[in-house]
Amino acid sequence: MPQVKVYRSGMLIARSDPAPGDTVLKHLSDSGIFLDAPCGGRGRCGKCLVRLSPDGVEVRACQTVITGDTDIYLPGEMEMEIAGDTKSGTDTPPPAAAGGEPLGVAVDIGTTTVVAHLTSLRTGGRAATAGGVNAQRPYGADVISRIQYCASNGHGQLTALIRGQLRGLIAEACADAGADPRAIEYIAIAGNTIMEHLAADLSPAGMGVAPFRPLSLFGDDTPVWEELGAAPGAAVYFAPAISSYVGGDITAGMLAAGLEDTEGPCVYIDIGTNGEIAMKLGDRYLCCATAAGPAFEGAEIAMGMAAVQGAVNHVVWEDGAVKFTTIGGAPAEGFCGSGLLDALALLIRQGAVDETGRLLSREEASGAISEYLESKDGKNIFRLARDCKVYMDYADVRKLQLAKSAIAAGIQTLLAHAGIGEDGVRSFVLAGGFGSFMDKDSAAAIGLFPKVFLPVTRTVGNTAGEGAALALCSAGARAALSAMRERCGYIELSTSPVFNEQFVEQMMF
Ligand code: FES
């Protein structure tokens, strides 16, 4: 029987026996070691790199089958930005006491990260928070890859992964707070419709093919599953979804962002691999979802990466030169979403990307920016600095252009349905991690949203977890979430002539 040894930073961290025919990626995942695998192991993204000896060449973990004794050397620790203790407002209740109180858990299951807040059901105070990279990540960076995996292999593996992760996070938070998981009586979960299906042990496969039907739109209590280790008789609440691609994370997020208290017109947007967009108008809501693709998350971009150590997160043009920063101040390894957005805005402003989205050659561009343009394998690229390995190529610009066009066209379609112009919008709410970290001026410069939104833009961070916390502690909040769904109209963009027309129009820079 072959043996596998796994090393990180030179230290042996695991020793195990692989199943016959396992790839390195599958074996690591089965061993509870999660490697970034944005394309879900289809061999397309080239991001699941490991070495099989300390100084050996990098190989793609998803394409490498273990055939004998194998040593696996992992890249550095993956540190994701986790939305932790971000309870907003000034009336934060006191922390929960460790013993004897009924406890609850508010959970935000994102496609990328999962966060659990252990909370006192009596005071609403947060006792502890635990979070991590979504354990399903080896099955793809985006929900489409995970749906495809479930369609071919069933959803059992992904359900087991998320349930195992939730159990682990709850145990971690309980250990931090000195609490017993069996004191947990209620759990409120907010996630996109696919993540909620998987946590609820329902197949998301139907959402991957027309007519894109979910098995449930949630919004009710279900009995807790035994392996979570909570109190017997505890219940799990899933925030109500509106459609396959506008989920409980959006209803919960809108509640936490206070949309119920605004008259509107207000536009709320959460940009990830999908762009979910909602509008509040009087007491009605309209919403839609656009397939922006994973470009804004750095996936399927030549030098894209997650927002971890070494990712270029900010790029500006200053004193006639490119200046950039990286997460953690580490040497630049690639671009994360906010860096990509800044770089593209810079190229547009400096005239190195024309209005059709073409990245010019050094000869075609004028001014100091031409110093940063090169030809690589016969294609135009923009390199951050002469001695820097990080660059953006013409194809990256195209992918970002498609993504921004999808979002911008979604916004225009909602405006058209509501019958209001861009300048009629009173407030523009940017939710989600990417919305918080991106530079608003860069986003407006590439045309992700109209420039007239800038003065009324508000960033609210990861509101899904906040919405889950409200739902956890308040029957009124749960009733409000159900009522929001009843008052929300859904626009299917794939069959909308307005969207199709706008998608072409918004391609221009
Ligand atoms: S190439 Fe291996 S996960 Fe994408």
Distance CA 27, CA 367 (A): 51
Cα(35) to ligand 1 centroid in Å equals 10
Question: Ligand 1 within 6 A of 47 CB?
Answer: yes
Contact (CB, 8 A) for 320 and 420: no
Q: Which 8-state DSSP code applies to residue 459?
A: E
Question: Ligand 1 within 6 A of 24 CB?
Answer: no
Residues 6+ apart with CB under 8 A from 387: none
Distance CA 464, CA 479 (A): 16
- 281 to 182, 232, 245, 344: CA distances (angstroms): 43, 43, 21, 33
Which residue is associated with the tokens 């394409």? 63
Q: Which 8-state DSSP code applies to residue 438?
A: S
- Closest ligand 1 atom, CA of 41? 3
Q: How many residues does the chain have?
A: 509
Residue 88, pLDDT > 50, answer no
Average pLDDT, the chain: 90
Choose between 51 and 94: higher pLDDT: 51
3-state secondary structure of 312: strand
- pLDDT attached to residue 248: 97
Tell me phi and psi for residue 398, to 5 degrees: -65, -45
Cα(139) to ligand 1 centroid in Å equals 9
Pocket test for ligand 1, best of 34, 39, 64, 74 (most atoms within 8 A of CB): 39
pTM equals 0.82
Tell me the average pLDDT across 86-114: 66
Cα(268) to ligand 1 centroid in Å equals 33
Question: Ligand 1 within 6 A of 45 CB?
Answer: yes
Residue 299, pLDDT > 90, answer no
Distance CA 78, CA 136 (A): 15
Distance CA 107, CA 467 (A): 9
- pLDDT attached to residue 41: 82
pLDDT in tens, 307-347: 888 999 999 999 999 999 999 999 999 999 999 999 999 99
Question: Ligand 1 within 6 A of 287 CB?
Answer: no
- Closest ligand 1 atom, CA of 61? 2
- pLDDT attached to residue 80: 44
Amino acid at 383: R
Cα(63) to ligand 1 centroid in Å equals 8
SS (H, E, C) 15-56: EECCCCCCEHHHHHHHCCCCCCCCCCCCCCCCCCEEECCCCC
Domains annotated for the chain, with CATH where assigned, are: 4-74 (3.10.20.740), 103-238 (3.30.420.480), 258-509 (no CATH)
Amino acid at 407: I
Contact (CB, 8 A) for 237 and 471: yes
State whether the Cα torsion 82-88-90-93 is positive or negative. Answer: negative
pLDDT in tens, 337-387: 999 999 999 999 999 999 999 999 999 999 999 999 999 999 999 999 999
Q: How does residue 56 score in pLDDT terms, banded at 50, 70 and 90?
A: confident
Pocket test for ligand 1, best of 23, 48, 149 (most atoms within 8 A of CB): 48
Which residue is associated with the tokens 């109500």? 240
Q: How does residue 89 score in pLDDT terms, banded at 50, 70 and 90?
A: very low
Cα(453) to ligand 1 centroid in Å equals 38
Which residue is associated with the tokens 């990417």? 434
Neighbour-count burial of 316, counting CB atoms closer than 10 A to its CB (0-12 exposed, 13-18 middle, 19+ buried): middle
Question: Ligand 1 within 6 A of 155 CB?
Answer: no
Tell me the average pLDDT across 269-274: 85
Q: What percent of the chain has pLDDT over 70?
A: 95
State whether the Cα torsion 495-426-276-47 is positive or negative. Answer: positive
Q: How does residue 99 score in pLDDT terms, banded at 50, 70 and 90?
A: low
Give the closest residue (by CA) to ligand 1 atom 1. 43
- In 10 A of CB 177, how many CB atoms? 21
Question: Ligand 1 within 6 A of 102 CB?
Answer: no
Question: Ligand 1 within 6 A of 60 CB?
Answer: yes
- 340 to 75, 270, 346, 390, 472: CA distances (angstroms): 23, 18, 10, 11, 37
Contact (CB, 8 A) for 470 and 256: yes
- In 10 A of CB 244, how many CB atoms? 24
Choose between 456 and 91: higher pLDDT: 456
Question: Ligand 1 within 6 A of 58 CB?
Answer: no
